[in-house]
Amino acid sequence: MHYKGSCHCGRIAFEFDGDITQAVACNCSICSRKGSLLHFVPRDRLQLLTPENDASSYTFNKHVIQHRFCPVCGIHPYGEGVDPQGKRMAAINLRCVEGLDVDSLTVHRYDGRAL
């Protein structure tokens, strides 16, 4: 299925293909504050529809994940990092995806505080 999403003001827009049936809710210090529900895809499957430099980045702790957010509206539509095998990944905030009923998804809890 094809999905589109964006931050609140639309300055950061993206699209990707996939089959979304579940989401990850992380309880780390940033994800719990954002309230994001995440879906992971290889980074090359996340296509930005707006210039990449329109998004700001925030890193913390080990500085391995770039939490991307809109400097205008403050919404965090996705993050970027690498998986344990070294492949570039994107963590899409499903709450930013158009027309997706996040309440219909199975949510898996991830203990990011333990890391």
Q: Which residues contact 70 (CB under 8 A, 6 or more apart)?
A: 7, 8, 9, 11, 12, 54, 55, 56, 76, 77
Residue 82 pLDDT class (50, 70, 90 cuts): very high
How far is it, in rounded angstroms, from Cα 51 to Cα 24? 27
CB contact at 8 A, 103 and 97: no
pLDDT value of position 115: 66
Mean pLDDT of 101-110: 95
H/E stretch holding 31 reads helix 29-34
Q: Is the pLDDT of residue 95 over 70?
A: yes
The domain that holds 83 is classified in CATH as 2.170.150.70
Q: What is the pLDDT of residue 64?
A: 85
Higher pLDDT, 32 or 61: 32
Q: Residue 50: its pLDDT value, please?
A: 97
Let me know if 113 is exposed, middle or buried by CB neighbors in 10 A (0-12, 13-18, 19+): exposed
Q: Looking at residue 114, what is its pLDDT?
A: 80
Rounded to the nearest integer, the mean pLDDT of the chain is 95
Amino acid found at 29: S
What is the domain count for the chain? 1
Q: How many angstroms separate the CA atoms of 52 and 8, rounded?
A: 16
**Domain of residue 107, residue span:** 2-114
Residues 70, 91: Cα–Cα separation, whole Å: 15
Find the helix or strand (DSSP H, E) in which 34 lies: helix 29-34
